Structure 1
């Protein structure tokens, strides 16, 4: 059975026309070895019933899914890369492959690729993805979902049997093609392209498309552009706050790497911060620290300003400025929600919450390199001081400088404290995804083709996801 009855194709993106995307063909790979399939994600779109052979046919050779996009479409967009405008961008090694409705919610979701071959926008690139890059993205999306960050989900990873040459890893290196499940791949840069060509009619068409398919609650708005910007500001503020609570550094926050539905996606040189350091960067080429950990809220706000600039071609500036001005307060509120959620605490709904967040960041900073980012949230989950005092970091928590945090957290009630009964919290250490561990997972793959550490890590992350329970109570922002 190729698809389940729950599969409901809805390929709306092609309706936008040729000014928005180009039809392309996938590369003909010499091999298609299935390395990862996300059956939990597949079940949300009715594709979990595919056999491995059918899976490879669709996500290794990209035979069209029933009633879906054919041929695939490489999206056109521009973007600011490290704040320098680049009009030569577009899907250079990926395409939009399928769109369907999510089981149970009716949300429009789509499958997009990375490493599927050359397109008109490949420039001098080969359109391929290294296997290591695919492994890293699978791990990143699994970890971010577990930590409550709105993110694309890695749907499939297939090794493709080519030898690639890259300057940032030993070459030749193995190749892969990744398929990701997202709410949307329409980027801020998608609007920038049409603003660059002074095409307000195409900006309006794209706004209409986005509102109809991703923000239907705005369908009666008197000013669709301003209403859309306001909604995107809210979602992106939440995303930035969740990154900060997770200690996550995206690495390349260009306008073509931010989408209109506020999901984190396209993981290149990401890192999870090992400890509190606002200057921590993920990309070796980010020499000025433009996208450092502590500057991420500033970076996404700058990107929102560029999106607003596109909308000035179709509406007045004042309502756009009002929408942008809501970023700061929304981000602060979302940061409170995110940090309290990560600590398993009920908000008080007063100014005490904002003060407590500053105390949390102060405790992380005060712990220095001796206090890793993730253990603080693990040890103090649901405010259980006795459990924290039995942890390997008990000496840090007993220090006088940590006293303000202890006093502040004692004033909070636990949110769903029954979660502490999960076996995950009997461990001495939390689940993390630091650079050295990713390298240790990759080493046996490249040396012995041993995938056991990779799959074991994904199983542990899944256990952590279930234990944290951060997607409980209807919080379905993930793709």
Structure 2
């Protein structure tokens, strides 16, 4: 979902059912002791015609999971496999979530409403199927910030506190519980295709490819649908990897079951924004080898896409798949340059000159330990502010280089006049959560969301994939 939402009428569908049996398991939502509405994303609710729901109706659908009209009659826990830290795991699936509904937006895109923390499923693997309230708050902050920075991300749609006390080993317990709903452009993970390949289920693989091309990319399958889909996925996912870098974002768990074939980011567990351009910065405390470190994300994501290519060999010859996959190495650096200059508000010149400028800027940030958000804020549209922060030969070289680029945006928005840019580092995340945990004070969260959305408005629409 790349563009800002447009109002739409409620338009339900059940496209997922065309995939037939074996793609998911019907499940029941947990019966929660309480349902306290904490967040509803009316901006995106309007895009699927649900903004007029009363709070009571909202809770009934997204806390008690009464089916939406003419939609899926029962939630579906999706089945998939995947590589977790590059080790294959065939015992995966939606363990604390399910697909609740499918809806078309104003542009005719098929969107899914999926859950997190909605109870146990056949894939819970001894887990409790629940979500901590802190985890839900963190996902709101991640998705709002990424959306504002132009990243193609799922949207946190709803957060409802559920009144249970959860035990967790990695945070103070007992802790408050919640159920979350996210709006996303499909539940089709790379791991979904890996499962079909693992089981040698050719009919299912054909259906998955056809479903993805028709419903997620709006294309008619051609003579080579598998490589056609892989080609589209490579384009989108290379752009996703680049957008993470320009946002200074570290996902934390880039397993193949966490990569969507539409190139939409989702599932935010141990995420972080790195304050500086620090190549080895990691988000997950258990990522001991730095497999998913900041500067290794493109490598990890490329590896995941290769698993999609391997899976598609079930129904395709290898050469066209290899050809499609090899484009990632070319598309990623192009996307990095395109997105870097977009965040700066500059018009690209030649690819060679633009890439050299980006390399110079990254070098300067690393050498001087200048904050990523501060750099983009101060150098916006080539109109340097706070020049005293940028003294020395390294910055002098960048000043000379930036003069070759015309602005593609202005600094007219009031956001660009503030001294400090909007950021989302771990200290602020913890402060926002502390206000909720200690005083049940939700105002810092709401204020931060408003500030993030103002920043997003100032940045404008992200660049289109070339």
> Contact conserved, 1:147 with 1:470, CA < 8 A, in 2?
no
Residue number in structure 2 paired with 1:399: 392
Find out whether 1:372 has 2:375 as its counterpart: no
> Contact conserved, 1:88 with 1:121, CA < 8 A, in 2?
yes
Counterpart-to-counterpart distance in 1, 2:376 and 2:8: 41
Structure 2 gaps of 5+ residues are 1-6
Task: Select 1:450's aligned residue among 431, 441, 445.
Answer: 441
Residue number in structure 1 paired with 2:326: 325
Q: Once the two structures are superposed, what CA deviation does each residue of 1:5-40 show, in whole Å capped at 9, x if it has no partner?
A: 710001200221221000011100000000000000
Counterpart-to-counterpart distance in 1, 2:171 and 2:351: 49
| Stretch of structure 1 that moved more, 166-175 or 353-362 | 353-362
Task: Select 2:177's aligned residue among 163, 175, 178.
Answer: 175
> Contact conserved, 1:150 with 1:262, CA < 8 A, in 2?
yes
Residue number in structure 2 paired with 1:415: 408
Q: Once the two structures are superposed, what CA deviation does each residue of 1:327-352 show, in whole Å capped at 9, x if it has no partner?
A: 01111111111000010001113421
Residue number in structure 2 paired with 1:221: 222
Deviation at 1:366, TM superposition (A): 1.4
Counterpart-to-counterpart distance in 2, 1:425 and 1:121: 47
Residue number in structure 2 paired with 1:63: 66
> Contact conserved, 2:28 with 2:74, CA < 8 A, in 1?
yes
Counterpart-to-counterpart distance in 2, 1:398 and 1:186: 48
Residue number in structure 1 paired with 2:197: 195
| Stretch of structure 1 that moved more, 429-438 or 355-364 | 355-364
SS at match of 2:183: strand
Task: Select 2:13's aligned residue among 10, 15, 25.
Answer: 10
Counterpart-to-counterpart distance in 1, 2:171 and 2:461: 35
Deviation at 1:388, TM superposition (A): 3.6
Counterpart-to-counterpart distance in 1, 2:437 and 2:129: 21
> Contact conserved, 2:8 with 2:48, CA < 8 A, in 1?
no
> Contact conserved, 1:110 with 1:181, CA < 8 A, in 2?
yes
Counterpart-to-counterpart distance in 1, 2:65 and 2:251: 29
Residue number in structure 2 paired with 1:155: 157
Counterpart-to-counterpart distance in 1, 2:328 and 2:386: 35
Counterpart-to-counterpart distance in 1, 2:351 and 2:128: 54
SS at match of 2:436: helix
Residue number in structure 1 paired with 2:144: 142
Task: Select 2:53's aligned residue among 43, 47, 50.
Answer: 50
Find out whether 1:28 has 2:31 as its counterpart: yes
TM-score of the pair, normalised by structure 1: 0.94
Counterpart-to-counterpart distance in 1, 2:428 and 2:403: 34
- 1:225-244 to structure 2, matched below 5 A, reads 225-244=226-245
SS at match of 2:12: coil
Residue number in structure 1 paired with 2:83: 80
Structure 1 gaps of 5+ residues are none
> Contact conserved, 2:8 with 2:46, CA < 8 A, in 1?
no
Deviant stretches of 4+, over 3 Å: none
Residue number in structure 2 paired with 1:264: 265
Residue number in structure 1 paired with 2:4: none
Residue number in structure 1 paired with 2:312: 311
SS at match of 2:102: strand
Residue number in structure 2 paired with 1:294: 295
Residue number in structure 1 paired with 2:127: 125
Counterpart-to-counterpart distance in 2, 1:363 and 1:234: 29
SS at match of 2:128: coil
Q: Once the two structures are superposed, what CA deviation does each residue of 1:149-188 show, in whole Å capped at 9, x if it has no partner?
A: 0000000000000000001100000000110000111100
Deviation at 1:476, TM superposition (A): 11
> Contact conserved, 1:341 with 1:470, CA < 8 A, in 2?
no
> Contact conserved, 2:131 with 2:179, CA < 8 A, in 1?
yes
TM-score of the pair, normalised by structure 2: 0.97
Provide the aligned C-alpha RMSD in A.
1.4
> Contact conserved, 2:115 with 2:180, CA < 8 A, in 1?
yes
Deviation at 1:220, TM superposition (A): 4.1
Q: Once the two structures are superposed, what CA deviation does each residue of 1:103-142 show, in whole Å capped at 9, x if it has no partner?
A: 1x11111100000000000011000000000000000000
